[in-house]
Each structure stands twice: as structure tokens, then as C-alpha cells.
Amino acid sequence: MMSATPLSWYLLLSFAIFSIGLLGLLIRRNLVVMLMAMELMLNGANLALVAYARFRGDEAGQVMAFFVMALAAAEAAIGLALVLAIYKHFKTLDVDRISRLNG
């Protein structure tokens, strides 16, 4: 038997990676690192999709994970372009100092 690992293990790992990404998004103040934490969250969700695809014998979950990857690519392109623009304007990537909309 190739896949003897129970589904719940994959799901637990998946939410662990998602939680680590969420933690990074909450506690880090650097925009680039926050974007990377978001990539971690997307990957955690991807793992759950692929695990369910395997345990249901249905490839649709893998197609969804593929779409998530494409969306992550779009998100990284736009996000990093915004990071470049913000850095040029504010000369910093610390989100605590980028607070012009704070009133």
C-alpha cells in the first residue's frame, strides 16, 4: 500500500502551515515577509486540496490547487509591484510607518 498515512495527518500538517503563515502575517512588519507568509497560507490550503483529491480518488482537487498556484503567481506579481512603488514613495517597507491613511 503506497499511501498508508491517514488523511487527518495531512489535514493537521495543512492547518499547521496555514497557522504559521497567519502568525507571520500578524506579527511581521515587513511587507515582503508578510507577502511570503501569505504564500505559506496558500500552500497550506493547497496541501489540503491535494490530500482530499487523493483520498477521494478525484482529480478535481488537484485542478483547484493548480488554479491556486496561478492565482498566487498573479498575487505575487501585483504585490511585489506594489512593494516596489511603496518603497520608492516611503523609502521603507515597515507597515507601521506606512500610515498615511491612518488619519
Among 24, 99, 101, 102, which residue interacts with other proteins (rule: CB under 8 A)? 24
Q: Minimum CB separation from other proteins for residue 80, in Å?
A: 5
Among 52, 90, 98, 100, which residue interacts with other proteins (rule: CB under 8 A)? 52
CA 13 to chain centre: 14
Q: Backbone dihedral region of 96: left (phi > 0), alpha (psi from -120 to 50 degrees) or beta?
A: alpha
Residue 92 interacts with other proteins (CB under 8 A)?
yes
List, in order, residues 6 or more apart from 77 with CB less than 8 Å away: none
Contact between residue 53 and residue 7 where contact means Cβ atoms under 8 Å apart: no
Residue 16 interacts with other proteins (CB under 8 A)?
yes
* Binding to other proteins in span 56-85, by CB under 8 A: 56-57, 59-60, 62-63, 65-67, 69-78, 80-85
